[in-house]
Amino acid sequence: MLSDLSKSLEHRNTFKRKIDPVVNGIPDMSKFAPIKEIKSKLPTVTMLSHVWYAKDIKTAILAADIIVNEWRFTDYRLDIYGAIDKAPSYSTDCFEIIASKSLPRFVVLRGEANPTDVLAKTWVFLNSSISEGLPLALGEAALTGAPVVCTDVGASLRVLTDPDTGARYSAVVAPNDARNLARA
């Protein structure tokens, strides 16, 4: 038994050479400088999120419904950038919610785009995820000076908090809460 196991196991140094680290971070922070003048005339909330379940785009759309249809902020815009074909049935659900809530003028799934171009039009950056690791888009948005609204998942709070002072540079709400997301 032990000899069979030893045949399948490799020495730790042999295994170590097969590991390649993947850097999870913003590779070129100089691309994300503070925006001096926002290129959008209307209050534009931006998301850089693929359209799929973990990013909870539906809750962001429902928050837009509250902002536009209940509170009557008709200048509000929500632009969602990211792959629309990652989860086709989820994307279809999002399009249906947008249509059923009469939001096509206010909420647009725009597909993929260059983050630096998108962030230049951003009044507020939004991340409505129900699951995250280290959301790089939050860091990119923060580097441009955009205010951030996000859900308290993964390392989101840590990305947006000064480790020395504890100061928070954003509004952080619980996931799956359209009303509090709208308030933030």
Give the model's pLDDT for residue 20: 53
Give the model's pLDDT for residue 40: 95
What tokens does 33 get?
Answer: 């400088």
Give the model's pLDDT for residue 11: 54
Query: In the sheet where 107-111 sits, what is the strand order?
Result: 107-111, 77-81, 44-48, 124-127, 148-151, 170-173
- The answer to whether 87 and 53 have CB atoms below 8 angstroms apart is yes
Q: Which helix (DSSP H) or strand (DSSP E) does residue 170 occupy?
A: strand 170-173
Nearest to 46 by CA among 75, 78, 24: 78
Is pTM beyond 0.75? Reply is: yes
Residue partners of 50: CB distance under 8 A and separation at least 6: 82, 83, 86
- The answer to whether 174 and 150 have CB atoms below 8 angstroms apart is no
Residues of the chain with pLDDT under 70: 1-24
